Structure 1
Amino acid sequence: MPNIYIVVNFVNKINTHEMEKVALITGANKGLGFETAYQLGIKGYTIIVTARTQQKSNETAEKLISKGIKALGMQ
């Protein structure tokens, strides 16, 4: 269900000409991937986090959200 929301939300933003900066970071649950996600997040990007499991993706997204960054975990 969240995947549908993302697509609908993205299409709505295109229709209203409100483009948002979004970064898809693979392997973002630790190390360089996490730091990249964090640095882009503090610069205003919405972060889509991927990892090997949905649980790791969600945990990483929650860490970013706790730091005030818009983030979503996906596998």
Structure 2
Amino acid sequence: MSDQRERFAAVQKNGDGDLTSFQTSSGRVLEYQQALKEVQDGNIGGVNVFKGKDGEIYIRGDADGDPTNNLDQLPMF
């Protein structure tokens, strides 16, 4: 069975280069906190969440050995 969940297709970043919003494969635009909830709920494929050293929860791409699909490498929208 293939994974039919949405994936992140493009990103927006702030002036510091931090990810601020995501566009999904279906065209939805999610602010970071909304995207975080969707990932935690299992609605978005190819990504996971982790707790940073600062105690905050962050989104990151699944480690699959392919650097081209890292979140920082996605096109801007």
Instruction: Tell me which interval the TM-score lies in, with the shorter structure as reference length.
Output: 0.3 to 0.5
TM-score when scaled to structure 1? 0.32
Higher RCO (CA < 8 A, seq sep 6+): 2
TM-score when scaled to structure 2? 0.32
The structure with more helix, counted as a fraction of residues: 1
